[in-house]
Amino acid sequence: MTIAIIGGGAAGFFLAINLKRLAPNIDVTIFEKSAKVLTKVAISGGGRCNLTNSFAEIKTLNRAYPRGDKLLKRAFRLFGHRDTYKWFEDAGVPLVTQDDQCIFPYSQDSNQIIVTFIKLARELGISVKTLHRLTSITSGERYTLTFNADTRCTFDAVAITTGGSPKAEGLSYLEALGHKIILPVPSLFTFNIPSDSIRELMGVVAENAMVSLEGTNLKASGALLITHWGMSGSVILKLSSYGAKLINEKQYRFNILVSWTNEVNCDKIAEYINSIVRENPQKKVANVCPYNISSRLWLHILKKAEIPTDRKWVDLGKRGINKIINLLSNDQYTVHGKGSFKDEFVTCGGVSLECIEFNTMESKNCPNLYFAGEILDIDAITGGFNLQAAWTTAYVAAVAISQRFNAI
């Protein structure tokens, strides 16, 4: 029996390796359109490869996976993050869990993952063909695949693991086979905030901020990094993931509200600010930074509130205190456009999960056609969750294929 895996990335190699281990007699070929395989793995996690996450801080799966959580909840029972940890350590890749619960190779080098995958593929007899771009796929008793418009091959089964497509046209061949395609749009991006003085604070980090999308219930918490183009950091990347489709509909023009204290209860902030007034009545407001925020950020807030830096706390008055409370809890900024997050390239959208059998990753439309990884309408926040989805869906597909062909 023969199977073609389209896409030589994380999901493609993981599926191929596990399939050959489960069913050694199946002939497995990976087809990659570019000259190199596993290129996205090489740059993930800043070149360190954030393989997965401990999930210790994830209370509900949809907080990590805005799309695809229901499928993954079932799939994780077969292959979850603990299985990923054991799989890589058994493969000779020691792992380490950081304080932020992200899991990396102990070597902090993504090349170790690439070398391991290529070595295992070679040992298992998996054929890898680069510079093979799939141009068409037709189904019948077997699948006929056309590469580079002139090379045709037939296979008993096909697994699509090509990753996210930035444009819907890249998935038209799957739509032609009857699959519903969810419009792909960017996820995990930074916010451009042009013509705002906040950009003068480039490099300042608010370690525990909360950012919400004005007019919605979408919000996220985490570190906020001010950049020369606007805002980045984990909180911005999370919010971009949660709101990817809505933000795209708004054409990347929208308002955000920033709580620099991760607190939106104005009564609690008022109580804290009034305690500062009582304890430091004669001190200048510029010399006492509430909530231990950066002095540069505090001066920015005072300027925005039109409060002179040499004014004493006791002289602020009710109006001055209310301005500070409002800016600490609901500081508004207008976003005009998105930046990029160079360590990740993630899209939401792709093959609708309505078309997929959750237990096998097989197409409901086309028998013996499987999917794994970001080609599916599954995506996550940053932190190793996207790669975990790739490992899990690839493993589930490998098990399903092996069981089907072993039974023949």
**C-beta separation of 156 from 368 below 8 A:** yes
CA distances from 397 to 129, 139, 408 (A): 21, 19, 17
The tens place of each residue's pLDDT in the chain, 408 residues long, gives 999 999 999 999 999 999 999 999 999 999 999 999 999 999 988 899 999 999 999 999 999 999 999 999 999 999 999 999 999 999 999 999 999 999 999 999 999 999 999 999 999 999 999 999 999 999 988 999 999 988 999 999 999 999 988 888 999 999 999 999 999 999 999 999 998 999 999 999 999 999 999 999 999 999 999 999 999 999 999 999 999 999 999 999 999 999 999 988 999 999 999 999 999 999 999 999 999 999 999 999 999 999 999 999 999 999 999 999 999 999 999 999 998 766 557 889 999 999 999 999 999 999 999 999 999 999 999 999 999 999 999 999 999 999 998 765
Q: Are residues 286 and 146 in the same domain?
A: no
The residue to which tokens 């905030």 are assigned: 193
- pLDDT attached to residue 264: 83
Q: Tell me which of 340, 363, 384 is where a domain ends.
A: 340
- pLDDT attached to residue 301: 97
CATH of the domain at 77: 3.50.50.60
Q: Are residues 244 and 170 in the same domain?
A: no
- Gyration radius of the chain's alpha carbons: 25
Q: Are residues 69 and 123 in the same domain?
A: yes
**C-beta separation of 232 from 201 below 8 A:** no
Q: Are residues 213 and 327 in the same domain?
A: yes
- pLDDT attached to residue 344: 55
Domain count, the chain: 2
**C-beta separation of 319 from 327 below 8 A:** no
Q: Are residues 243 and 385 in the same domain?
A: no
Q: Are residues 68 and 212 in the same domain?
A: no
Half-sphere CA count of 364, side-chain side, radius 13 A: 11
- pLDDT attached to residue 407: 64
**Sheet containing strand 356-357, strands side by side:** 127-129, 27-31, 2-6, 157-160, 369-371, 362-363, 356-357
Q: Are residues 156 and 250 in the same domain?
A: no
Q: Are residues 80 and 117 in the same domain?
A: yes
Q: Are residues 126 and 173 in the same domain?
A: yes
Q: Are residues 196 and 150 in the same domain?
A: no
pTM: 0.94
- Pair of tokens at residue 352: 């609708």
- Per the structure, the complete domain to which residue 94 belongs is given by 2-186+349-406
Q: Are residues 54 and 82 in the same domain?
A: yes
- pLDDT attached to residue 307: 97
Q: Are residues 393 and 368 in the same domain?
A: yes
Residue type at 275 in one-letter notation: S
- pLDDT attached to residue 48: 96
**C-beta separation of 236 from 339 below 8 A:** no
